Amino acid sequence: MEHDLGNRIRGARRIAGVTQAELASSLRVSRSAVANWEGASGIWPASARLLSIATLTGVSYEWLATGRGVATDATEGLPAVRGELVDDPQELRMLRAFRGCRAPIRRALVDMAESQRHRR
What pLDDT does residue 89 have?
A: 82
Residue 91: domain span? 79-116
Q: Where are the alpha helices (DSSP H) in the chain?
A: 2-16, 20-27, 31-38, 47-57, 61-66, 89-99, 103-116
Q: State whether 21 and 60 are in the same domain.
A: yes
Q: State whether 11 and 69 are in the same domain.
A: yes
Q: State whether 38 and 63 are in the same domain.
A: yes
Q: State whether 97 and 110 are in the same domain.
A: yes
What pLDDT does residue 81 have?
A: 45
- Structure letter (DSSP) for residue 29: S
Summarised one tens digit per residue, pLDDT across range 33-89 is: 999 999 888 888 999 999 999 999 989 999 999 998 888 865 555 555 456 677 778
What's the number of domains the chain is made of? Answer: 2
Summarised one tens digit per residue, pLDDT across range 18-38 is: 999 999 999 999 999 999 999
What pLDDT does residue 76 have?
A: 53
Q: State whether 93 and 37 are in the same domain.
A: no
Gap between the Cα atoms of 60 and 53, Å rounded? 10
Q: State whether 65 and 29 are in the same domain.
A: yes
Q: State whether 100 and 68 are in the same domain.
A: no
Q: State whether 16 and 44 are in the same domain.
A: yes
Any residues with CB less than 8 A from the CB of 16 and at least 6 apart, and which? 23, 56, 57, 58, 59, 93, 96
